[in-house]
Structure 1
Amino acid sequence: MTTVANVPASTWSPLRIGVFRVLWLAVLGSQVGTWMQMVGAQWLLVDQPGAAVLVALVQTAGTLPVVLLALPAGVLADSLDRRRLLIWVQLFMLAVGVLLTGLTIAGQMTPALLLALTFALGCGTAMTNPTYQAMIPELVPRAQLPSAAALGSISVNLARAVGPAVAGVLIAHTGVAAVFGINAATFLGFAVVLFLWRRHPTPDDALPEPFLAALRAGGRYVRHSPALRRFLLRVELFILPAVALWALLPLVASQRLHMGAGGYGLLLAALGTGAVLGAAVLPRLRAALSDNAMLWGGSLVYAVALAVVSVVRVPAVAVLALVPAGLAWMAVLSNINAGLQLFLPHWVRARGLGAYQGAFFGGQAVGALAWGLLAVRFGLVPALLAAAAVTAAGAATVRFWPLIETRHLNREPARPWPQPQLTVEPERFAGPIVVEVTYIVAPGNEPEFLASADALRRTRMRTGAVQWGLFRAGEVAGEMVEVYVVPTWDEHLRQHTGRLTGSDEEIDLRVQALSERPPTVVHLLPADVSR
């Protein structure tokens, strides 16, 4: 019998939360405006010499900043007040949008200037995405994060379907400048919503990390977190072949199905419909299947749909095949995104999401270019069939490189260490700091102690250490000395006051329990620290 507790939360549950609902609608409006702007920019260039290259460069100018600035954007989002950062970014994008509109109305928009301003808007998008996603856990309960991630995927797919269609109608009746103006208005609307929201400050807001130190800390976290690296690998293995459908769908519509612009819009609408249907069934699927089963099944469904679309010549069949493709796209990517949201601790969440954003958009850019070149060289159908085969092969790799199970991990902040009691007070950025932790381990506990050492090492390295070692004292039987180096006193204090999670604490306590007496800790400071 199914109890109320076992019934999964609806995908739409987060929308019952007023703040999340308003912000989600504001983001959706901004995403629709972004797609409208992209179509308008491409339309301005269709009559220019070398139009094919210029039109392609619009997409590059819009997405390249997202790849280049992904991790720095995450650093700023983790170091500054996220609400204020988003407000300033929206005001910057508003200024760029107004400039685009004004120059277009005046007839002064050149291709180079258009690409430059599109690049500037891409920089704003690069700052917005990880910052907004990192705020979501502040807006909804942890149990609703998967639903919030699904709603994020819905907004992306709706914007992709609605934005170009609305832009086409506006361009036909009023011109490109109106499209640019509406896009600018969406930035203003998002900024107003953020201004009216009163965000509660978090402990991390009190003392932000210096930019370079925070950037290095984010890189260390990615490098020493096997679960995060596996999330990034899985999104790349899916997105690199799967993006072929999005990249080549216009050619499918025109060359294979002989449909015009309206037909292409219908195909996009089918993908969007599948994504919405996927959102409706995702909670049940997530409750019944593991993350890896979702990844495997969604990838196979997408591969089959891609193969069908590549060979059919009947538009109705292609539309029907794109609905499960949209559902599978939603299932795979929202599941990975939700898992990442649940896994990342608060102090590094935006940096981790920035790394995900870089992998996602970078994979899209590289994959779209590669499949486009293959289509030119070997033909449209062979390229799409090859993409379907690679997508299916990627599903098979789930057996060898599965997502690491993280649902059971305690990701809440923990403070298991007492504040250091020193005879001198180091400057905040004094360093390097060497920490020695001495354990007395009985012979019978030594194998388990050594087996736990690697998990302990990863904990230290993820949260701030740059070097780590475990040594045996030659003069004292059973004495084990853990030594690790932290760049600055500030970074070590952050280990004490927020970087550790509940799962890190469990590892620490498990190692301490194997010591016959409580471990002793010594902090070695630079000799001239008193200066």
Structure 2
Amino acid sequence: MQETSEKTTEDNPAEQTSTWLALRNPVFRRLWLAMVVSGSCIGAHNTAVYWALHSLGAKTVLISLMATVSALPYTLFTLPAGAIADMVDRKKILLAVQLWHVSIAFALAILWMAHLLNPYIILASAFLFSAGFAFGSPAHSSVIAEMVSAEELGSAYTLAGLQMDVSGIIGPLFSALLLPLAGVSFIFGANGLGFLLMFLAILLWKRVKVQPSLPMETFFESLTTAIRYVRYSPGIKILLARHALFSFFISIIPSLMPVVGLTELHLKASHLGYLFTAMAVGSVISGAFIIPWARARYSPQRITTSANLVLLLNGCLMVLVHRPLVFLVVAALGGMGWTLSASELWVASQRAMPEWARGRLNAILVMFAQAATALGGVIWGLAAHHAGVVPTFLGSAVFGALVMIIVRVVPGFQMSIDFTKSLSFESAPVSIFSHSLDTSRLPAPKDGPVSITAEFNLGPTHRNECIDLMRDARLIFLRNGASRWHLYEDLKQPNKFRMEIVVPSWKQHLLERERMTKNEKEVIEKLRGLRTDPNPPEEWVALSVEKEVLNSRVRTGGLPPDYIDQ
């Protein structure tokens, strides 16, 4: 399906958990190196933007709006972008996004040299940059999973997070050194060159195009399919909840750590960058050494639990430590815990997503995380304003500990992510039990709704087992395309059941069959195994003709004349 490294690591478990494993894949290695360079240029660009705003005399309110206009596109565009990522060639999306960013970066460089740049244009450019990132983010996350093998997946996403940390160290340093010497235009232009490097790395990827055997969903069908998949996937809902909780609690660090530095440590504003650099260094240490060591020994749930405990301790230390040098160590500890927990959550999420919906589900994941981060920033900011920074950090640690206890011990609230390691999305197309239709009478793709029913008898001892399997079958059919699912029991003949599935159209029925995985098919096979009748179960596939009934122009063909006259 895609160009990947041929080397396997099945016989070496230590290699499978290595952070650097995915770099043996030449395609991913080329992309990752381009991401490091481009990410460093982006970090330098962000520093240059704030320097430019300050030099142009921008008011504080305009500078504070940078965060708002940068976050807004993720709310507006991420879900539509996810739908597009599952409909359009993802490589083309990423190439278009890079060219979009190149044009903005070079335009800013030219405008600054021509003395035509003002704070409002810079704000607009921040929105346009973020719009590009919002449109490219689902495709980018999906492409990484497409480039690497299953063994390399964990390493690839760890390296993707590590890249941001490395770029977060190099970028500001690059900007601090070159801004006084080369000026703002040079930094903006270098950012454009970084995006061109990304364009080249993506262009060199030889993605194998697979022609779909079935009609493609429309844009709105794609959106509703994604929402339906989340609704009927307990595993995805667990992961969304975990991401939201993590993003909510972790948002206190970027929101209030600068306040701690200024008010508790009495640092100068120019020294705040050291705090975030220390966090980035901790993240690099975590990604390079701690993550591979932990993955070789512990389950994802145990790793995230341990990392979250480190973060709770870190939140307390941030307001109890008053020596700047010691605080840098505390910040590095926070970076370690942050990267460890976030990396495991993200890898688990990718394992839980089918390829046909990966772009949309990644988009929903980003939206949940961004919304939780924004909400957390507001709540922690208000709490610090009214109660103080120290009580806010300590209160968040206590609240976080209570949440961890609840999700671990209270029935109905447990949210372990260990289930993702055993998931398999190997395709196994199937109808309900059989599929023997006259091919000369098949409906058009848009015809519908379509009802599929299957009747089967059970032994008296299998009733409870059947009901349990039907709970799984209901979720399987509903998340893969069905709009309704019903189960009936014959009043005259106990233990004789009829399962009915309704899909909006014939096309959705075909897509539903193609989306079935090997694990899901096993549930259907278990249901078949409970039957007492050796013959194949009776199946009925029917097309709704209600539209003809409700049509004002009644079709009279085949009706006797005297009946029509009535």
TM-score bracket, normalised by the shorter chain, equals over 0.9
TM-score normalised to structure 2 length:
0.87
Q: Greater shift after overlay, 53-62 or 325-334?
A: 53-62
Residue deviations 1:86-141 (CA, integer Å, cap 9, x gap) = 11121122222222222222222233332222111111111222211112222222
User: Structure 1 residues 362, 29: closer, same or farther in 2, change over 3 A?
Assistant: farther
User: Structure 1 residues 362, 157: closer, same or farther in 2, change over 3 A?
Assistant: farther
After superposition, where does 1:26-105 map in structure 2 within 5 Å? 26-46=34-54, 51-105=59-113
Does the alignment pair 1:402 with 2:415?
yes
After superposition, where does 1:117-266 map in structure 2 within 5 Å? 117-202=125-210, 204=212, 207-260=215-268, 263-266=271-274
Does the alignment pair 1:412 with 2:443?
no
8 Å Cα contact 2:56/2:118 also seen in 1: no
The residue aligned with 1:479 is: 496
When the two chains are superposed, the root-mean-square deviation of aligned CA atoms in Å is: 2.4
Q: Which amino acid in structure 2 is aligned with residue 109 of structure 1?
A: L
Q: Which runs of 5+ in 1 are unaligned?
A: none
Does the alignment pair 1:285 with 2:294?
yes
Secondary structure at 1:289's aligned position in 2? coil
Identity of aligned residues (%): 28
Q: Greater shift after overlay, 455-464 or 34-43?
A: 34-43
8 Å Cα contact 2:215/2:507 also seen in 1: no
The residue aligned with 1:111 is: 119
Q: Which amino acid in structure 1 is aligned with residue 490 of structure 2?
A: A
C-alpha separation between the residues in 2 aligned to 1:205 and 1:127?
A: 27
The residue aligned with 2:486 is: 469
> How many Å apart are 1:11 and its aligned residue?
0.7
C-alpha separation between the residues in 1 aligned to 2:259 and 2:167?
A: 21
C-alpha separation between the residues in 1 aligned to 2:351 and 2:490?
A: 40
C-alpha separation between the residues in 1 aligned to 2:401 and 2:340?
A: 15
C-alpha separation between the residues in 2 aligned to 1:293 and 1:306?
A: 20
The residue aligned with 1:366 is: 375
8 Å Cα contact 2:169/2:281 also seen in 1: no
Secondary structure at 2:369's aligned position in 1? helix
C-alpha separation between the residues in 2 aligned to 1:205 and 1:125?
A: 31
User: Structure 1 residues 42, 396: closer, same or farther in 2, change over 3 A?
Assistant: farther
User: Structure 1 residues 252, 178: closer, same or farther in 2, change over 3 A?
Assistant: farther
Secondary structure at 1:142's aligned position in 2? coil
8 Å Cα contact 1:234/1:403 also seen in 2: no
Q: Greater shift after overlay, 133-142 or 334-343?
A: 133-142
TM-score normalised to structure 1 length:
0.93
Q: Greater shift after overlay, 108-117 or 145-154?
A: 108-117
> How many Å apart are 1:262 and its aligned residue?
5.5
Question: Match for 1:305 among 309, 314, 322?
Answer: 314
> How many Å apart are 1:338 and its aligned residue?
0.5
Q: Which amino acid in structure 1 is aligned with residue 519 of structure 2?
A: S
Secondary structure at 1:46's aligned position in 2? helix
C-alpha separation between the residues in 1 aligned to 2:505 and 2:463?
A: 32
User: Structure 1 residues 159, 455: closer, same or farther in 2, change over 3 A?
Assistant: same
C-alpha separation between the residues in 1 aligned to 2:98 and 2:213?
A: 21
Q: Which runs of 5+ in 2 are unaligned?
A: 1-9, 549-554, 556-566
Count of aligned residue pairs for this structure pair: 528
Residue deviations 1:276-316 (CA, integer Å, cap 9, x gap) = 22122212312322222222211110111121122212111
Secondary structure at 1:340's aligned position in 2? helix
Q: Greater shift after overlay, 516-525 or 454-463?
A: 516-525
> How many Å apart are 1:458 and its aligned residue?
0.4
Secondary structure at 1:437's aligned position in 2? strand
> How many Å apart are 1:179 and its aligned residue?
2.4
> How many Å apart are 1:261 and its aligned residue?
5.2
Q: Which amino acid in structure 1 is aligned with residue 308 of structure 2?
A: S
Q: Greater shift after overlay, 141-150 or 467-476?
A: 467-476
